[in-house]
Amino acid sequence: MDTQCHFASKSGATSYRRTLGPLGKEFDTRLFWRIICDSIKEVVSKAGIHDREIVSVSATSQRQGVVFLDNDGRELYAGPNIDLRALTEGISLDSKFRKEIYAITGHLPSFLFAPAKLKWFEANRPETYSKIATVLTISDWIIYRLCGERLSEVCGASELGLIDVQSRHWSGRLREFLALPDGIYPELVPAGRQVGKITPQAAAETGLAAGIPVVQGAPDTHCALIAMGVRGKGKVGIVLGWSGPVQMIIDKPVLDPEARIWTGCHPLPNHWILESSAGEAGNAYHWLEGILFGEENSPEAYHLMDCLASGVPPGSEEVQAFVGPAIMDMSHLTMKVGGFLFPVPLSVTNVRRGHLIRALLENLCFAVKANCLQLEAISGLKIEEVSIGGSLARSRCLVQILPNMLGIPVSVPEVTEVSALGAALCAAVGSGAYSSLEEGMKAMMPQFRVSEPDSLATLEYAGYYQRWTTTAEWLTRLSEAIK
């Protein structure tokens, strides 16, 4: 199938409102919804189609973001995944129930997830807590605003820390020993199922025609996996957006004995995900762009960064970066020292912008390799196929480095906005265009270019990787020594 894609992008940062100092953040839901509506209108205009030509609509969103509704459907709270207000409550839960929580949900630490946030509201805003009638992911909330149905998709619910990863259902046991409220968990439905139709109110707000079918979506990384066709045991998909989740497909749940990584659900039945995330990826790259060029999201600056990095040889002439990306270890979260390391004096080494940029890209690729090795060790599977998407997949320099780092081919789709493409795939399935997600994945899969490893470069990067791991271990010890 010839898939043409149109995208509209707007920053949601202006919809945040800070609460509780630096840790707490909430969405201004009225502003957030207006941004969504404006984006819908813009992308329909770009596509050059009439609203009545749209056959269905779906939604995807970041993971761990959560919305609480009252009985009347009013938003009591809407928070992004960077809302850390429940740090104390999460630490308390883990001190008592860490092993059992991880055994059920496959996710730790608890302060990132919905149970701890519920506990925070119970302790700090009891009047609000007493009114909570429904817990939704952000994409579930968008579906609700479009069609009025309160439903939840299993992968998104799993990423809230409320699902039994074995059974793929809400965990009654978790509700019991954490004393979570009853009745706040909506019906679970699979991605790709039609769940309602655009209401007259949503039509007036979005510009879409009333009556258009609304289809259940999935979280951003999960939509990316189905868009890239990542299925089958041992296959790996990496979404290099703000963060860099490295996700391996498994045919049954596997839990890390040390609880360093996450286990979750895949949108396809009888598929699960073992995740070892590299952490901040695009966020670190965007930070460096701002430092070097003083601009926000400038396409010209990113193109220049790629050119400058490509002009520096492998190893970045001894420049090393430790800015964000690292091996996942959710059992031991702490602040660490990091930055750039390079030989001095500068009059001899002549470190330039290109060295810093390439070193940061190599840092990300080192971290991806470390997380791939961790996934292999925990799963007992050998990684032979890797697909990458997300904004950083547009970097020609990164796409050249990564296969040499991993020593295996890396597939890159022509459409790098794979999360949005996955949501469109769900919409197509729900419209009846395809009978299942599997059929939709085959029909709508974008074209890929495959970047092959170079044997000499792979050997060279093996040495640089060892240097990176040694330095990372040294920095960890330094961080502990200077606390």
Query: Is the bond preceding 181 in cis, omega lying within 30 degrees of 0?
Result: no
Last residue of a domain, one of 187, 218, 249: 218
User: Which tokens belong to 388?
Assistant: 């990458």
* Cβ neighbours, 10 Å, residue 84: 17
Query: Are 238 and 154 part of one and the same domain?
Result: no
pLDDT reported for residue 15 = 63
User: Residue 421 maps to which CATH number?
Assistant: 3.30.420.40
Query: Are 162 and 300 part of one and the same domain?
Result: no
Query: Are 247 and 107 part of one and the same domain?
Result: no
What type of residue sits at position 153?
A: E
Query: Are 210 and 224 part of one and the same domain?
Result: no
User: Which tokens belong to 478?
Assistant: 């330094």
Cα 349–406–229 angle (5° rounding)? 130
Query: Are 214 and 235 part of one and the same domain?
Result: no
Could you state, in chain order, the average pLDDT of each consecutive group of 10 residues for the chain (483 residues)? Answer: 64 64 87 94 89 91 95 96 94 96 98 97 96 97 98 97 96 95 95 97 96 97 96 94 96 96 96 96 94 80 94 96 94 89 88 96 98 98 95 96 97 95 96 96 94 96 97 92 83
Query: Are 412 and 395 part of one and the same domain?
Result: yes
Query: Are 214 and 228 part of one and the same domain?
Result: no
pLDDT reported for residue 269 = 92
Long-range contacts of 289-295 (CB under 8 A, 24+ apart): 292/353, 292/356, 292/357
Last residue of a domain, one of 190, 218, 246: 218
Last residue of a domain, one of 197, 218, 239: 218
Cα 140–143–144 angle (5° rounding)? 85
Query: Are 282 and 135 part of one and the same domain?
Result: no
pLDDT reported for residue 112 = 96
Query: Are 153 and 265 part of one and the same domain?
Result: no
Query: What one-character-per-residue DSSP string does 417-456 give?
Result: -HHHHHHHHHHHHHTTSSSSHHHHHHHHPPPEEEEPPPHH
pLDDT reported for residue 170 = 97
Q: Is residue 274 a part of any domain in this protein?
A: yes
Total domains in the chain come to 2
User: Which tokens belong to 167?
Assistant: 């059974």
* Cβ neighbours, 10 Å, residue 253: 17
User: Which tokens belong to 343?
Assistant: 């030989």
Query: Are 411 and 268 part of one and the same domain?
Result: yes
Strand, coil or helix: 221: helix
Q: Is residue 5 a part of any domain in this protein?
A: no
Q: Report pTM.
A: 0.94
Q: Is residue 213 a part of any domain in this protein?
A: yes
Q: Is residue 7 a part of any domain in this protein?
A: no
Whether 165 contacts 106, CB under 8 Å: yes
Query: Are 281 and 389 part of one and the same domain?
Result: yes
Structural domain range at position 94: 13-218
In a 13 Å sphere around the CA of 329, the CA atoms on its Cβ side amount to 10
Q: Is residue 77 a part of any domain in this protein?
A: yes
Q: Is residue 1 a part of any domain in this protein?
A: no
pLDDT reported for residue 114 = 97
Query: Are 103 and 225 part of one and the same domain?
Result: no
Beta-strand (E) ranges in 55-198?
Answer: 66-69, 75-79, 134-137, 151-153, 163-164, 169-170, 187-189, 194-197
